């Protein structure tokens, strides 16, 4: 039995009983493409076996590096963009206290984990430098090429601050490079300068890389148990191998969302009821958007954080354009719960909730929203997770990774490339005056 559960019971008014079974042949074919490497993008399937087939020696080095960072740094600055930061940010938020990064040093057991290089905002970088102040810090720079503009600029700035504070030799011991095994500018610099380095596997794309050193070092530095994280993913890999739709809930999810897509439900909202899961949705959006948005088709991934966003997006979801489907990731046992206090005068009208807890109210809100939105012709699915532990997160990560791979093949696309990402980069290089882009730059400037 799977550790997490997928509930599609609210789809009965949108999907006929026979439709899932009629997807079985297509799902079986998609599974063969994925498992046998006969589908498009087969060179980037190493995430499939990664939870069990990974470099154990490097894994131990990651844990040792995390311990060193914990011992000598109050802040770890993780520099990367896209898959080079979203997985780690999601996991650090998911696995820690909501205000993990806000606690003062005297109340912290582990360093703050802050992120940079994911935008070109000078104010953000200035503010982060100001936050670090005179405190000890280390840097984990993550880039396969070492030339991506956003992280490259940030790395120069934080490297300069490290050298200013610790000198060349001291700075070297506080820089951890996660990059290509043999190629690229960052690999060359890491070798030349003697940074401790970790490998981004060739067969794992950025959005699937959270269980590689890309995500594991920041996650471990935050104090999370990465052994349990990998064990959860490994158990999920065993649980989601059978293509039989009556047994494989990850494949069920892929099939149902494709059935709905073909009926005009072209936008999927991933929703949660825990504020520290906001970045789980951001990670999911990259995973789904880069995997499926190609050839002028694909489900558009969006998100909402409930109950908060019910007071801003709720009206549209309930009565707006009927192209939405919803998937809720619901935590069945929150990290903490609180009783609703008793008050004699009942001025706020909450006496009916006395004797209950906040999670009781949160769960009833989830149930009420599901019923209301279903009545409003918004298909609802939910993925129930028992808790917010590393084991559960590893399991959940794998659930969505294997689901989107199957979903992509069901829709006739390569779920492992992202050709459209390069379009803006070429224009940006040209407008910034990067060597080799002069002609394109001249053309673009005429359009501006």
Q: What are the residue numbers of the active site?
A: 290, 425
| Closest to 157 in 3D by CA, of 184, 122, 131 | 122
Give a three-class secondary structure readout of the chain: CCCCEEECHHHCCCCCCCHHHHCHHHHHHHHHHHHHCCCCCHHHCHHHCCCCCCCHHHHHHHHHHHHHHHHHCCEEEEECCHHHCHHHHHHHHHHCCCCHHHCCHHHCCCCEEEEECCCCCHHHHHHHHHHHCCCCEEEEEECCCCCCHHHHHHHHHHHHHHHHHHHHHHHHCCEEEEECCCCCHHHHHHHHHCCEEEECCCCCCHHHHHHCHHHHHHHHHCCCCHHHHHHHHHHHHHHCCCCCCCCCHHHHHHHHHHHHHCCCCCEEEEEECCHHHHHHHHHHHHHHHHHHCECCECCEEEEEECCHHHHCCHHHHHHCCCCEEEEEEEECCCCCCCECCCCCCCCCCCHHHCCCEHHHHHHHHHHHHHHHHHHCCCCEEEEEECCCCHHHHHHHHHHHHHHHHHHHHHCCCCCCCCCCHHHHHHHHHHHHCCCCCHHHHHHHHHHC
What's the CA gap between 431 and 98, in Å, rounded? 40
CA distance 386 to 426: 44
Taking alpha carbons only, the member of 275, 303, 272, 277 closest to residue 288 is 303
- Tokens 């789904």 identify what position? 288
Between CA 289 and CA 214 the distance in angstroms is 20
R_g over Cα of the chain: 23
Distances 355 to 292, 338, 340, 344, 349 between C-alpha atoms, Å: 46, 11, 7, 13, 14
Rounded Cα distance between 216 and 226, Å, is 7
């Amino acid at each position: 039995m799977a550790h997490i559960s997928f509930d599609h019971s609210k789809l009965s008014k949108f999907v006929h009983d026979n439709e899932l079974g009629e997807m079985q042949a297509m799902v079986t074919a998609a599974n063969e493409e994925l498992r046998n490497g006969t589908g498009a993008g087969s060179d980037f399937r190493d995430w499939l076996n990664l939870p069990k087939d990974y470099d154990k020696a490097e894994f131990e080095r990651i844990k040792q590096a995390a311990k060193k960072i914990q011992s000598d740094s109050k802040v770890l600055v993780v520099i990367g963009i896209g898959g080079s930061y979203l997985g780690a940010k999601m996991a650090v938020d998911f696995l820690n206290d909501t205000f993990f990064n806000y606690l003062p040093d005297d109340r912290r057991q582990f360093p703050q984990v802050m992120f940079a290089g994911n935008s070109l905002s000078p104010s953000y970088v200035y503010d982060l430098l100001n936050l670090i102040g005179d405190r000890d810090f280390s840097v984990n720079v993550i880039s396969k090429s070492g030339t991506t503009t956003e992280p490259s600029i940030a790395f120069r700035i934080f490297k300069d601050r490290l050298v200013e504070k610790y000198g060349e030799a001291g700075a070297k011991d506080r820089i951890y490079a996660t990059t290509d095994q043999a190629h690229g500018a960052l690999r060359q610099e890491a070798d030349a300068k003697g940074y401790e380095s970790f490998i981004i596997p060739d067969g794992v794309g950025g959005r699937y890389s959270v269980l590689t050193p890309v995500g594991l070092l920041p996650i471990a530095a935050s104090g999370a148990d990465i052994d349990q994280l990998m064990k959860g993913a490994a158990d999920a890999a065993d649980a989601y191998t059978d293509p039989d739709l009556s047994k494989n809930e990850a494949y069920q999810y892929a099939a149902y969302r494709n059935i709905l897509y073909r009926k005009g439900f072209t936008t999927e909202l991933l929703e949660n009821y825990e504020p520290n899961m906001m970045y789980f949705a951001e990670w999911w959006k990259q995973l789904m958007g880069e995997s499926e948005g190609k050839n002028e088709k694909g489900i558009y991934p969006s998100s909402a954080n409930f109950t908060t966003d019910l007071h801003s997006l709720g009206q549209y979801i309930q009565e707006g354009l009927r192209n939405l489907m919803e998937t809720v990731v619901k935590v069945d046992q929150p990290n903490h719960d609180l009783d609703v206090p008793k008050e004699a005068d009942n001025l706020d009208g909450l006496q009916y909730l006395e004797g209950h807890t906040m999670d009781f109210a949160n769960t009833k809100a989830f149930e009420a929203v599901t019923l209301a939105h279903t009545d409003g012709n918004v298909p609802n699915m939910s993925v129930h997770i028992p808790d917010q532990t590393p084991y559960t997160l590893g399991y959940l990560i794998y659930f969505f990774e294997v689901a989107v791979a199957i979903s992509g093949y069901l829709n006739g696309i390569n779920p492992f490339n992202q050709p459209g990402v390069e379009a803006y980069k070429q224009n940006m290089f040209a407008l910034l005056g990067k060597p080799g882009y002069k002609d394109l730059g001249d053309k673009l400037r005429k359009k501006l």
